[in-house]
Structures are given as C-alpha cells and as structure tokens.
Amino acid sequence: MPTARGRKIGAVDWIVRGVAGLLLVATTACGSPGTATPASGTGVVRPGTAAASATASPGADGTPLDPETTPGVDVPGVGAPHQQPAFASKALQVLATLPVKGRAPKTGYSRDQFGPAWSDVDHNGCDTRNDMLRRDLKALTLKPGTRDCVVLSGVLNDPYTAAAINFLRGNATSTAVQIDHVVALSDAWQKGAQQLSPAQRLSFANDPLNLLAVDGPANQSKSDGDAATWLPPNKSYRCTYVARQISVKSSYGLWVTQAEHDAMARVLSDCPDALAPTNQPANQPTTAPAQAAPAQQPAPAQVQMAPAPAPAPAPAPAQAPAPAPAAVTYANCTAVRAAGAAPIHVGQPGYSSKLDRDGDGVGCE
C-alpha cells in the first residue's frame, strides 16, 4: 500500500507530465517561438508587416511602420521569359519582331493573376510602389524608421501631362501620383500573359521597365487601354511611351493587335531613331553615350584636351585622373543625393547600373 509521501510524489509527477504534454502540443501547432510562418506559396512573411500581424511593429526609431507601405511578402524575382531588346535597339525594329494577333478573351483575368500587389521582388526591403516613387520623384522626404523606404512627399515631373505634381502621402492625397503599368495588366492578359507562369506574371507586374509614376487622373483615364485607344496627352512623350511598351511586350513574349501595331508605327514615324529602353547596362562602353543625357557630353572634351601639352608629359596627366572614378562609390541614390551628385550619368565617378533602375544612362533621376 503506497504511503502518503508516495502518493504526493506520484501526483506531482502526473502534473509535470501533463504540463509537458500541453507544451508539446502548443509548440507543434504554433511553430517555434518568434518565427513567422510563411504564407503558403507566397514566400517569406516579414515580421512587423500586415501579413505577419494586424498590428505594425515599431521601426528603428520607435515610429510604427505603416503596413500599407511595408512589403508584406518577400517573393523571389524570376524575371522576364525573354531577353530584353539589345541595348540601343531601335523601337521600330523591335516592333517588327512582335507577333500581330487578335485580342484574346478576358476570361479568367483578375489582379490576383499577377501576384500580391507591390511585392518586394528585388529583396531590397521595400515594396515596389515606394521603389518607383523614390526613382521618379524629386525633392524626396522619407519616413523615419522605414529604412529609407516610405516616401512621404516629393515632386513629380509628370511625363503624361508635363505638369509638376506635389506628392503628399495620405489617405486623401496619395492618389495624386499613381504607379502606372505602361502595358496594362488586363491588356497583357489578353495578349499572351495567360501563357506566362504565375512567377513570370508577378515579375511583369513589378518590373521597373513596365512602371512609371504618373498623374493619377491621367492614369485613370488610360485604364487598360493600349496604344490604339490611349496615348499620353503630352505629345512630346509619346515616342518614349510607345518605345517602352514595345520593350515590355518583347521582353515578356506578348503580342500586339493590328490596330495597336499601326498606332505604334504612326507615333514612331515622327521619331524613327527612338531607342527601345532596357534595364540592362550597355554591353560595350562605346555605346553608352547614345543614351546619355546632354550633361555627359563634356567627358569626351576632357579626353581630347589631354594631347594638347607637349608629347612627353601628355600621357601622365591623361592617365593620372583615371583611377579617380573607381575610387568613388555610392551605396544607393540617397548617398548620391547627399553628395550633391544626382542625377549621375554613365561615365561619371560613382555611376553604377544599380543606381540606374530604368537603364537610360542616368541614375538617381
């Protein structure tokens, strides 16, 4: 017969075993403490975002992060299914390579077919919308505690209307500047994107080549129109706009309708030498000046001035400055602007392709 002491020890042991069992079940059901469980098929959920918690966690300075402006999903960037047009290709030549077909039915289209809106496909810790605002706006003010991600204010020189637009973040003001898909998602769906993989459609929706910060009302007016039904009111931008659409459609294997093809050809007839833009850097440095802004033209003048002194000392001055550009590096466009070097052009000290998101030879515009 058990003693009173034995019964007491047995009861304590039963309680300990029961508590341990409950902890095991809780751990199995919820996952390890402090680990955010990824959403199925969407990538890594970042702690402190809307996807990880209904309440935003504070930023580095204690300021709560806005879930709307912090990427909820970090997804892998797959890229376009085809290579972008070769650097310095003429838009008319690329247009000639696009298939001409009828518009497919819109059946099955939804925004969800192109993945979560404004994902962080480049893994820089910032959603695509704010990436584009930082790229296209001037005089930026960034929200503290967001790793220089969230744009609070800035000025947009709108390409669609040629107007200067003051951007101020807020529920009633943010829509003044919108991020336009140059080739609309619905248009892409009806012209080949149905055959793309979900990852490729996600890349399409977040590709900087296909994105522009523009006037909100103008973007609403465009809706999902193609070049046959809508062109920017700013006529001086139409060549650039159509050339960008051609590059995007070429990169993602999309086609154009006959009416769209003819409208693009009419626009480019006024600018037959217009180049198809690309995110890729130039393969050969000698081609870079073709896309460089006029501000870069003084560079060749400096090279020509070197032989002017006597033949013997001329090579030394010409070679001495050469290492200087390599010694100048910038981590990002924030550093470029802080140094007063923005915009920075191809060939200038500190320029790199990572600073030139749209590949036009001008970084940190």
* pLDDT tens, position by position, 258-293: 999 999 999 999 999 999 999 865 433 323 333 433
Residue 150 has pLDDT above 50, yes or no: yes
Task: Look over the chain and give the mean of its residue pLDDT values, rounded to a whole number.
Answer: 75
Residues 58-87 pLDDT 10s = 333 332 333 344 444 455 556 788 889 998
pLDDT attached to residue 160: 98
pLDDT attached to residue 55: 31
Residue 57 has pLDDT above 60, yes or no: no
- For residue 72, what are the β-bridge partners? none
Residue 5 has pLDDT above 70, yes or no: no
Structural domain boundaries in the chain? 73-268, 285-305+319-363
CA distance to 21, 104, 130, 275, per residue, from 179 (Å):
52, 26, 9, 23
Q: What residues contact residue 312 under an 8 Å CB cut-off, 6+ apart?
A: none
* Residue that wins the pLDDT comparison between 305 and 327: 327
* Residue that wins the pLDDT comparison between 49 and 96: 96
pLDDT attached to residue 321: 43
pLDDT attached to residue 332: 79
pLDDT band for position 337 (50/70/90)?
A: confident
Return d(Cα 217, Cα 306) in angstroms, integer.
52
